[in-house]
Structure 1
Amino acid sequence: MKLKKLGLVINPWAGVGGPAGLKGSDGAETVQQALEAGVEPQAQKRAATALAGLADFRDRLEILCFANDMGETVARDAGLSVTVVGEAASEPTTPADSERAAQVIRDSGADLVVFVGGDGTARNMVNALGDDFPVLGIPAGVKMHSACFAISPRAGAEVLRRLMAGQLVDLREREVRDIDEKSFREGRVSTRHYGELLVPEEGHFLQAVKNAGREVEELAVADVAADVVEDLDPETLYIVGPGSTTLAILDEVGCDGTLLGVDLLLDGALVAEDIGAAEIEAAIEGHQGPVKIILTAIGGQGHLIGRGNQQFSPAVLRAVGRDNLIVVATKTKITELGGRPLLVDSGDAGLDEQWSGFIRVITGYRDAILYPLSNGEFE
């Protein structure tokens, strides 16, 4: 396919709950909580990154979108030709606005709809467009288990450039999954297949479905935990990210941590649980000793930063530094990547590029490997 009219649907509030540790952004109440916590919405910025790749094609591409923050503002700022085909019925916008925008844009003659959001927005696209109209997701949410997203906004830009250039790009059905945010906030992960979307599939630019299974061998996870705990320094503040592997480290210390949140560990004790980016930044500033981050990757996808752990904001990551990052994963989790790199998609392109390269991954007791960490950049 070759693009002439590109539809754009932005969920302005996508991902706003992540830095605040709210596990998602569904519902006006959650959005309000995040804004009161000082979180700045990132969907517009991520949309702008994806559209920046289309600058060379502005003379022959028309953007169809809804008014203001649902697409118009970003598209005009990118210098693209814009046709506004509607507007949101409410503020803040709702899932109904996203669904209506997708339908109106399709009916106005779009060749493809790009949507900016997370799994909830992907579900809106399934409801609105079914599985026979081409779409591409630009990741901006907290929960991104689905396989319809580019691995980063820049990777999404590359897919769009290839389509604009008329290159052969396969269209394939890709799975949409979602979880119940209420259960998620209570520490229970229950994902289910919701539908399929027709997506331009271009190799390594699309993410895989998140592996919902519990990460494998309990003995392997215990070995990883034992290795990390043996080297813990009582003067160091450890910022422990989400995941069953990192939770095993807290279990090994004798602490009841949170499976899906971010906890602070100091001298063998939890000093804070399930906190957001602002609280993490304050803790770093208030701690006199060293600070380190302990993270594990999402099974199946390989995202180390930027999926389900947006509490690690660019400011937090820069304050701690790449050299103070402890990465843990069993060899099974690494093997399941099939040679694909671990991924960083922090929302800060400069930081993502700086952090790319080989990184040490603890895979067992006194067992570690060097493995590539990538921003998804292409040659």
Structure 2
Amino acid sequence: MRAQRDSDVSLHHAGQGKTLGLIVNPVAGMGGPVGLKGTDGTEVLQEARRRGAHPVSSERALLALKRLAASTVPFRLITGSGALGEDVARAAGLEPIVVYRSSPGASRPDDTRNAALVMAYASVDLLLFAGGDGTARDVLGMVSDRVPILGIPTGVKMYSAVFGTNPQNAGNLAARFVAAEPSVRFREAEVMDIDEAAMRSDQVSARLYGYACSPHERHLTQNAKAGAAANENLALDAVSRQVVRSMKPGCLYLLGPGTTTRRVMTELGLPSTLLGVDAVMDGALVGADLNEYELIRLMEGHETHIIVGVLGGHGSLFGRGNQQISAEVIRRVGREHITVITSMDKLLALDTGCLRVDTGSAEVDAMLSGHLRVHTGPDRSVFFRVRT
């Protein structure tokens, strides 16, 4: 890598604007629709492919780069070869400088870390990466707080606060950074990931791995995942009982991941998949830990309802950790058959004052946008704004 770093010294020239780095994790997010909890590790990636998963990261990264490419302020973009960023940058109409080429036999995380190190030596003004929490950890481990980073959300797990609320907003924020708009400020943003030890104990717990310097604008970036307060439990138990009583015979109910929906399953007397999607009909479990294709197959011929919670901290409704409930599943179910359960405390803690959707489909995101009824307690609900 020495020669690559030496060649980067000439990247900064007066009057040519800022230098941005770009790293794309080409397999990030593949595990979501097929019911896996991430795409970290060779075995998980192989299983995702066996289940018919298709790459989504480059497609989502392109949405961000198109927004960045529309900037009227000049900037330079440096990246990795091929699928590591070069291909999608050119597809967006940009002319990147390739500063890192993967070595034969290198692993995907090694490519991310090595490319991030090269870009840190190049003193980029901002490092854009497309991936999930695992990619964020790999990048942070190489650049620490020396280089500002911004995530284009393309993974399964995105609990960290370094991500845009969706790919387009990540691109908008990068463009505003390039233009030096005063509304763009920097913050110490949490980089988090699922605590696997806690997960094995059947608990959803996001572990803090460090802080990154990251650009921030209130409606363009998400907050980190937050846990629930103890005083929320009684209200959530009560509203879960009410949801169970309202279930209609002959209808299929899809319950999303998390501890909130687990309360509904407990009221039904059924086991649940903490980080997966389960299906219930007439009080019986008809499918556990289902992927997108299995959900669609179960839905055939049945009126279907979706029951989901809200991801605390950044207020995600769809698109973070529940990609099995895909845009196609939501489209077939319809907005009127979606039940959202959360606590009032969690809603009040959202500094953006809205819930977020990022399904990967502009049409479905638009369908979900607006004000949606959110159940916060027995016979208590509020209409809360949903936006992309």
State the TM bucket, normalised to the shorter chain: over 0.9
Deviation at residue 336 of structure 1 after TM alignment: 1.6
- Deviation track 1:120-142 (CA, whole Å, cap 9, x = no partner) reads 11111111101121111111112
- 1:3 & 1:195 partners in 2: Cα distance? 30
CA distance in 1, matches of 2:128, 2:149: 6
Alpha-carbon distance between aligned partners in 1 of 2:293 and 2:202, rounded to the nearest angstrom: 21
Q: Specify the alignment match of 1:198 in structure 2.
A: 213
2:287 corresponds to 1:272: yes
Shift in CA distance, 308/373, structure 1 to aligned 2, threshold 3 Å: same
Give the distance between the partners of 2:356 and 2:109, measured in 1 at CA: 29
2:303 is matched with: 290
Partner of 2:11: none
1:157 is displaced (CA, Å) by 1.4
Distance 1:162 1:313 in 2: 31
1:215-243 per-position Cα deviation (integer Å, ceiling 9, x unaligned): 74221011110111111001110011011
What is the CA–CA distance in structure 2 between the aligned matches of 1:364 and 1:190, rounded to whole Å? 24
Contact 2:17 2:73 in 1 (8 A): no
2:5 matched residue in structure 1 = none
Question: Separation in 1 of the partners of 2:206 and 2:357?
Answer: 23
Unaligned runs of 5+ in 1: none
Match of 1:18 among 15, 28, 32: 32
Once the 2 structures are TM-superposed, how far is the Cα of residue 339 of structure 1 from its aligned partner?
5.6
Give 1:91 shift: 6.6
Gaps of 5+ in 2: 1-15
Q: CA deviation at 1:61?
A: 2.7
My pick for the range that moved more, 263-272 or 156-165, is 156-165
| 1:151 lines up with 2:156 in the alignment | no
What is the CA-CA distance between 1:250 and the residue it aligns to?
1.1
Instruction: Please say if residues 263 and 275 of structure 1, whose CA atoms lie closer than 8 Å, have aligned partners that are also in contact.
Output: yes
1:62-88 CA-partner distances (Å, limit 9, x unpaired): 221111111011000001011111222
Check conservation: 1:293, 1:320, Cα contact below 8 A.
yes
For the structure 1 residues 94 and 329, does the alpha-carbon distance in structure 2 shift closer, same or farther, using more than 3 Å as the test?
same
Partner of 1:70: 84
Structure 2 residue corresponding to 1:250, chosen from 254, 265, 273: 265
* In structure 1, C-alpha distance between the alignment counterparts of 2:121 and 2:146, rounded to whole Å: 14
Larger displacement relative to structure 2 (105-114 or 222-231) = 105-114
Cross-structure match for 1:301 = 314
The structure-2 alpha-carbon separation of the partners of 1:84 and 1:210, relative to structure 1 and needing over 3 Å to count, comes to: same
* Residue matched to 2:353: 340
Match of 1:127 in 2: 141
- 1:365, 1:261 → 2: CA distance? 26
Q: Aligned-pair RMSD on alpha carbons? A: 1.9
CA distance in 1 between partners of 2:17 and 2:31 (Å): 33
Q: Cα distance, 1:23 vs. partner?
A: 0.9
For residue 28 of structure 1, what is the aligned residue in structure 2? 42
> What amino acid sits opposite 2:297 in the alignment?
A
Distance in 2 separating the partners of 1:272 and 1:278: 12
Aligned mates of 2:232, 2:286 — CA distance in 1 = 29
Kindly provide the CA deviation profile for residues 337-356 of structure 1, in whole angstroms up to 9, marking residues without a partner as x: 24620110111223212220
Match of 1:366 in 2: 379
| Counterparts in 2 of 1:89 and 1:323: CA distance versus 1, 3 Å | farther
Give the structure 1 partner of residue 12 of structure 2.
none
1:320 alignment partner, one of 320, 329, 333: 333
Structure 2: how far apart are the matches of 1:222 and 1:252?
A: 8
1:141 and 2:155 matched: yes
Q: Distance in 2 between matches of 1:83 and 1:14?
A: 23
Using the alignment, how far apart are the partners of 1:186 and 1:324 within structure 2? 32
Question: Is 1:208–2:223 an aligned residue pair?
Answer: yes
Alpha-carbon distance in 1 for matches of 2:365, 2:230: 26
Offset, 1:209: 1.1
Instruction: Answer yes or no: is the 8 Å Cα contact 2:73–2:179 preserved in 1.
Output: no
Change (3 A) 1:338 1:166: closer
2:236 to 221, 235, 256: 221
Cα distance in structure 2, aligned partners of 1:215 and 1:37 = 39
Q: How does 1:31-50 map to 2 (within 5 A)?
A: 31-50=45-64
CA offset digits 1:186-231 (Å, max 9, x no partner):
7333432211111012222111110134674221011110111111
Secondary structure in structure 1 of the residue aligned to 2:70: helix
Say which is worse superposed, 338-347 or 183-192, in terms of deviation. 183-192
Q: Is the 8 A contact 1:222 1:248 kept in 2?
A: yes
Label 1:90 to 1:357 Cα distance change in 2 as closer, same or farther (>3 A): farther
- Using the alignment, how far apart are the partners of 1:267 and 1:216 within structure 2? 31
CA distance in 2, matches of 1:347, 1:267: 32
Change (3 A) 1:16 1:109: same
TM-score of the two chains, using structure 1 as the length reference = 0.93
Aligned residue number for residue 4 of structure 2: none
Give 2:312's aligned amino acid. Answer: G
Report the Cα distance in structure 2 between the residues aligned to 1:234 and 1:92, rounded to whole angstroms.
Answer: 54
Normalising by structure 2, we get a TM-score of 0.91
